[in-house]
Every structure is written in structure tokens, then in C-alpha cells.
């Protein structure tokens, strides 16, 4: 019995619309058309525009009080702060007050460990405790900042067992000394060319005091520069007679170089002009100490106590140190 290929193959005839089979598809899908999906339940679509409007209104309600209250509160706080300044004696801080750094903090700087981690430790401790490699790295960083701030530390490092570290410190100290002396020499030359230039004399005085107080010089060299300072201060006292600071500095420097012949007379003159200045009584004590006059020191301390001389924290420490009743 002959049969067609379609009937004998056992395959469904896809062109026969009446033939049913498990995977028979409607003709509209069979030929590539797509029908929209219909939901069995007609759910309402959310109105996003309406919700956005509600959110915007809520935002406006929340933000408007802040917009109006911030300027009002700012003005109110400014008025309160101004009232405190005027009625409570509180001082307004300058920018420099916030930038002040305690002297102890100047001894802290970054160092790089062997793992290149940054940490802050006292420089003096780092130089003495850490490994030579770390100390050398720290020394190089110090030399590239401002070594004049670390003269005392550099002087200690010159005694180190590390030869390389000692060499760096010694070289740095010598360079600092050379810079001081070059600046002072140039200022003295300028002062000789312009003897009436007060500003040059003031700069010369500042450099001399900085060099003397640096601790870089001692003994004969120190006395040499103190004599130069005495000449500069004497000229400043003549050119600026109302600048009492130079008078006090001149007397103190005279005591330190051993020229005490006229010191007491000068102090007595200043006592008539500035009887409430604590610097006067400090110089009196310094003079009596260098002249081995203990009774004179006791009289000065009694004057400070009886006259009610104002003493700040440093002055109180000085008074307690010399007060025999303590």
C-alpha cells in the first residue's frame, strides 16, 4: 500500500490546521507575530506623576523652615557672640592664636620606618633609640626643613656613635654658624654705611640675640658677640629713648659681660620711671646674684611682695624660686 511521505513519516502535518498535536501553535504565533499579554485581572496603573508631586510638596514643607530659620539663627548667634565679647571681657582670637604650636610639639616630626609607614615620635628619642638607618633618614629630612630650630638636638647628635650621623650633624652646625655670622657681618656693614638707620640696627640686634641664644657659641666667642650687642643696644637706647625694652636688655647684657660698674645707678633711674615693671626687679636680683649680695636679693623680693607687683605665671615661678620664705 503506497502512502505519502507525510503520512508514513509519523510527523504531524504543520500545514493542516485541523490536525491537533501537543505543541500545536496558533497560526498567528506560528508565523512570527506577537500577541500582547493580557492580564486576567485589570489592575490600575500607579500614577507616578501624582506620587512625584506629593514627594515634592513634602520636600518643600521640610526645607522651607530651614531656609528661613538658618539666616535668623545665624544673626541671633552673631549678636550673642558680640554681647559676650563686649560684656564678659572675652577676647576675639586672631588667626595666629589658632596656629600656635607648643614648643614641645616642635620636637615632633614625621619619620619613615623601614616599612615606609609614617609615625610621629620625639626627634630626640628617634635619634637615640631607632636604628641607624631610620636616624639617618630623619636627619636628612631635618636638614631639608629648618635646621636652625634644632640646634640643641644637632649638638647632641654630634656626640653620637654613628660616624655618618655625627658628620651630618657637625656639618649642619657649622653651616648654621656660618649663616649667622654672614648675616650679622652684612648688617654691621649696612649699619656703618647708614648710621642713622634705626631699622638696620634693630635687625642687627635681632640677629645678634638669636645667635647668642642659639647655644652655638660659648666662652670667648660668646663674649665677643655680647660686646657687639652692647654697642648696638647702646645706640638704640640713644636713637629710641622711649623704647624701654632696649634699656632693660642693655643692663642685662652689661651684667652678663661683667660690666657692672654703673648697673646699680641705671637700675635706680629705671625704678623711678617704671616702679611696677617686674623686669626691673628681675634685673636687680640678677645684679645682686652676680655681685654675691644675698641681702640685696632679699630686699628685692620684699619690695615685690610689699608693692604688690603684678606677676604672671612665669613671674610667679621666678618669685617662688628666689623667695626665702618658700
Residue 69 has pLDDT above 50, yes or no: yes
Task: Band the pLDDT of 52: cuts 50, 70, 90.
Answer: low
- 229-252 residue pLDDT tens: 999 999 999 999 999 999 999 999
Residue 298 has pLDDT above 90, yes or no: yes
Q: Among 14-18, 145-149, 170-174, which stretch is predicted with the lowest mean pLDDT?
A: 14-18
User: What is the SS3 string spanning the chain?
Assistant: CCCCHHHHCCCCCCCCCCCCCCCCCCHHHHCCCCCCCCCCCCCCCCCHHHHHHHHHHHHHHHHHHHHHHHHHHHHHHHHHHHHHHHHCCCCCCCHHHHHCCCHHHHHEEEEECCCCCEEEEEHHHHHHHCCHHHHHHHHHHHHCCCHHHHHHHHHHHCCCCCHHHHHHHHHHHHHHHHHHHHHHHHHHHHHHHCCCCHHHHHHHHHHHHHHHHCCCCCHHHHHHHHHHHHHHHHHHHHHCCCCHHHHHHHHHHHHHCCCCCCHHHHHHHHHHHCCCCHHHHHHHHHHHHHCCCHHHHHHHHHHHHHHCCCCCHHHHHHHHHHCCCC
* pLDDT attached to residue 129: 60
Contact status, residue 247 vs residue 274, Cβ threshold 8 Å: no
Higher-confidence position of 241 and 32: 241
Return the axis-axis angle of helices 278-290 and 263-273, rounded to nearest 10°: 160
Ranked by mean pLDDT, the top range of 8-22, 138-152, 248-262 is 248-262
Residue 34 has pLDDT above 50, yes or no: no
Residue % of the chain over a pLDDT of 90: 44
pTM for this model (two decimals) = 0.59
* pLDDT attached to residue 11: 47
Q: Among 97-111, 180-194, 231-245, 262-276, which stretch is predicted with the lowest mean pLDDT?
A: 97-111
- At residue 108, φ and ψ (nearest 5 deg) are -115, 125
Mean pLDDT of the 175-187 span: 95
Higher-confidence position of 128 and 204: 204
Partners of residue 119 on adjacent β-strands: 111
Amino acid at each position: 500500500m503506497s502512502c505519502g511521505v507525510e503520512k508514513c513519516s509519523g510527523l504531524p502535518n504543520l500545514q493542516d490546521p485541523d490536525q491537533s498535536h501537543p505543541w500545536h501553535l496558533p497560526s498567528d504565533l506560528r508565523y512570527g507575530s506577537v500577541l500582547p499579554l493580557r492580564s486576567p485581572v485589570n489592575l490600575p496603573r500607579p500614577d507616578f506623576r501624582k506620587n512625584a508631586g506629593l514627594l515634592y510638596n513634602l520636600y518643600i514643607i521640610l526645607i522651607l523652615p530651614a531656609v528661613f530659620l538658618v539666616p535668623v539663627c545665624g544673626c541671633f548667634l552673631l549678636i550673642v557672640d558680640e554681647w559676650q565679647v563686649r560684656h564678659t571681657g572675652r577676647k576675639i582670637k586672631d588667626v595666629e592664636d589658632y596656629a600656635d604650636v607648643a614648643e614641645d610639639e616642635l620636637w615632633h616630626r614625621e619619620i619613615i620606618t623601614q616599612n615606609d609607614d609614617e609615625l610621629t615620635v620625639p626627634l630626640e628619642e628617634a635619634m637615640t633609640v631607632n636604628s641607624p638607618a631610620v636616624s639617618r633618614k630623619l636627619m636628612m629630612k631635618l636638614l631639608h626643613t629648618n635646621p636652625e630650630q634644632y640646634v640643641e638636638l644637632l649638638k647632641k647628635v654630634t656626640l653620637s656613635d654613628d660616624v655618618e650621623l655625627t658628620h651630618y650633624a657637625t656639618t649642619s652646625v657649622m653651616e648654621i654658624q656660618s649663616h649667622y655670622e654672614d648675616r650679622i657681618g652684612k648688617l654691621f656693614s649696612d649699619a656703618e654705611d647708614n648710621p642713622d638707620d634705626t631699622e638696620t640696627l634693630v635687625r642687627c640686634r635681632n640677629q645678634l640675640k638669636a645667635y647668642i641664644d642659639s647655644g652655638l657659641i660659648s666662652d670667648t666667642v660668646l663674649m665677643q658677640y655680647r660686646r657687639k650687642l652692647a654697642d648696638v643696644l647702646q645706640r638704640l637706647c640713644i636713637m629710641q629713648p622711649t623704647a624701654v625694652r632696649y634699656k632693660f636688655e642693655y643692663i642685662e647684657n652689661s651684667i652678663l659681660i661683667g660690666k657692672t660698674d654703673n648697673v646699680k645707678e641705671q637700675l635706680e633711674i629705671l625704678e623711678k620711671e617704671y616702679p611696677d615693671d617686674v623686669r626691673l626687679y628681675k634685673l636687680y636680683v640678677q645684679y645682686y646674684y652676680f655681685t654675691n649680695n644675698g641681702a640685696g636679693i632679699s630686699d628685692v623680693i620684699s619690695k615685690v611682695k610689699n608693692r604688690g607687683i603684678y606677676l604672671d605665671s612665669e613671674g610667679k615661678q621666678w618669685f617662688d624660686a628666689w623667695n626665702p620664705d618658700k
